[in-house]
Amino acid sequence: MTLEEIKSLDKKYYMNTFGDRTPICFTEGKGIELTATDGKVYKDFFAGIAVNCLGYGHERLTRELCDQVSKLIHISNIYYGESQAKLAQSIIENSCADRVFFCNSGAEANEGAIKLAKKYFTMKGENKRIEFITLKSSFHGRTLATVAATGQEKYQKPYKPLLEKFIHIDINDIDALKNAVSDKTAAIMVELIQGESGVHPLDREYVDTIVDICKKNDIVLIVDEIQTGIGRCGELFAHQLYGIEPDIFTMAKGLGGGVPVGGFAAKQKFADAFVPGDHGTTFGGNPLAMRAGCVVLDELLNNGVIENAKTVGKYFEDKLNSLADSSGKIAEVRGAGLMLGVEFKEEIAKEMGSKMRDKGYLVGVIGTKIFRIVPPLIITKDDVDGFIDALNSVLEQA
Ligand SMILES: Cc1ncc(COP(=O)(O)O)c(C=O)c1O
């Protein structure tokens, strides 16, 4: 089909939640490159919003998924699953958590984490612990509880009154944090680097204060690692970069290398709050998604992919900072590993994004001033050099 034919079907039948999409339809990918219906090839520095960590057409992931599809795609969680057990082992042996639960998406993972924190206090008989503290400009998902958790009015407004009691405080403001905490606080939930609103890292002192407050008051610390996790920031999880141990953390995006999968992991004391029947899923933890997760974790941990995210990420950040100095058009470069944000001085992000696309480079554009750069974790320094040359040349025309 041509792009025009696909577009007209979409406009007629699909709910209008995505508005006017970027007028491209991809048909296949290899490495970090995507090919569109018109044959044009793009280098992808957005990775399906920080998802396709091994790039496209990854030889081993493709082979193992084809093998899995030919054997078994889905089976109920009333039975045991080999890949599910192995992926659980891999997550737990490489993190501070003791137990994990697998679901299908990031929002579902956060819902599960919120339920677990609530159940923890129900079990303890502390029924007034009903408040959750989250941060302004955060993004935690699109279900009702995660929309309530998300500290952005635009996502909440159409759905008020919201179900849960979430208090949203300014990022990196220690006084606001201290003022928000009370004997009603059940949990504090944060992204360590806010992705969706523009790649905003939390200060280390602020994070240490959160950890301290949670410990002293038996408040559950939930870290949303849906975007920052699975090697994205140069460690398996971003909380490892910060040197902290959350009580519960969530994951999704990169975990399946493109196959939908999410999960939440908890320390034993919190995991124990769930007893049989408290939580469940039909599709979560299915053999296909779990096989994908096993390949991704093995490639990340044992085949140098996390190391690559760390070294190429640092190289990328340095190059962007040099470009900031030479062009005079970039206000700030932020982030860690291969989760990088570029904030321009002027409102040129949309124009720059579309000019980069014309040059065959895909990036995420946030608002009017920010690029979100979250490429596959397999990119090379040469790929970065190509991106920097392209950005340099579009900035020269700005
Ligand atoms: C930090 C964070 N949490 C939660 C979500 C929701 O994940 P999903 O879209 O898989 O439900 C996202 C998605 O962008 C995210 O970036």
pLDDT at 164 over 80: no
pLDDT, mean of residues 330-351: 98
Predicted confidence (pLDDT) per residue in 277-289, tens digit? 999 999 999 999 9
pLDDT, mean of residues 117-135: 97
CATH superfamily, domain at 3-57+305-397 = Aspartate Aminotransferase, domain 1 (3.90.1150.10)
Question: How far does residue 225's CA lie from ligand 1's centre (Å)?
Answer: 9
In CATH, 72-302 is 3.40.640.10: yes
pLDDT, mean of residues 353-363: 98
Domain with CATH 3.90.1150.10 in the chain: 3-57+305-397
Domain with CATH 3.40.640.10 in the chain: 72-302
Question: 111: Cβ below 6 Å to ligand 1?
Answer: no
User: If you take atom 3 of ligand 1, which residue's CA is the nearest one?
Assistant: 140
The closest-lying atom of ligand 1 relative to the alpha carbon of residue 194 is 1
Question: How far does residue 218's CA lie from ligand 1's centre (Å)?
Answer: 26
Taking the C-alpha atoms of residue 318 and residue 321, their distance in angstroms, rounded to an integer, is: 5
Question: 196: Cβ below 6 Å to ligand 1?
Answer: yes
pLDDT, mean of residues 336-359: 98
pLDDT, mean of residues 214-241: 98
Chain CA centroid to CA 314, Å? 19
Q: What is the pLDDT of residue 139?
A: 98
Q: What is the pLDDT of residue 366?
A: 97
Q: What is the pLDDT of residue 58?
A: 98
Q: What is the pLDDT of residue 96?
A: 98
Lowest mean pLDDT among 155-169, 262-276, 309-323: 155-169
Question: 194: Cβ below 6 Å to ligand 1?
Answer: no
Best probe residue, ligand 1, of 49, 227, 251 (max atoms within 8 Å of C-beta): 227
Taking the C-alpha atoms of residue 115 and residue 324, their distance in angstroms, rounded to an integer, is: 44
User: DSSP character for 162?
Assistant: P
Taking the C-alpha atoms of residue 339 and residue 344, their distance in angstroms, rounded to an integer, is: 17
Q: What are the phi and psi torsion angles at 391 (to 5°)? A: -65, -40
As a whole-number percent, the residues of the chain with pLDDT over 70 amount to 100
pLDDT, mean of residues 174-182: 98
pLDDT, mean of residues 382-396: 98
pLDDT category, 245, cuts 50, 70, 90? Answer: very high
User: If you take atom 10 of ligand 1, which residue's CA is the nearest one?
Assistant: 106
pLDDT category, 163, cuts 50, 70, 90? Answer: confident
Best probe residue, ligand 1, of 253, 366, 374 (max atoms within 8 Å of C-beta): 253
Question: 225: Cβ below 6 Å to ligand 1?
Answer: no
**In which element (H, E) is residue 361 found?**
strand 361-362
CB 239 within 8 A of CB 225: yes
pLDDT, mean of residues 375-382: 98
Query: For residues 299, 304, 308 and 309, what is the CA-based torsion angle, rounded to 10 degrees?
Result: 40
User: If you take atom 7 of ligand 1, which residue's CA is the nearest one?
Assistant: 106
Question: How far does residue 277's CA lie from ligand 1's centre (Å)?
Answer: 26
Q: What are the phi and psi torsion angles at 396 (to 5°)? A: -65, -30
Q: What is the pLDDT of residue 398?
A: 87
Predicted confidence (pLDDT) per residue in 10-63, tens digit? 999 999 999 999 999 999 999 999 999 999 999 999 999 999 999 999 999 999
The structure tokens 């900035």 sit at 395
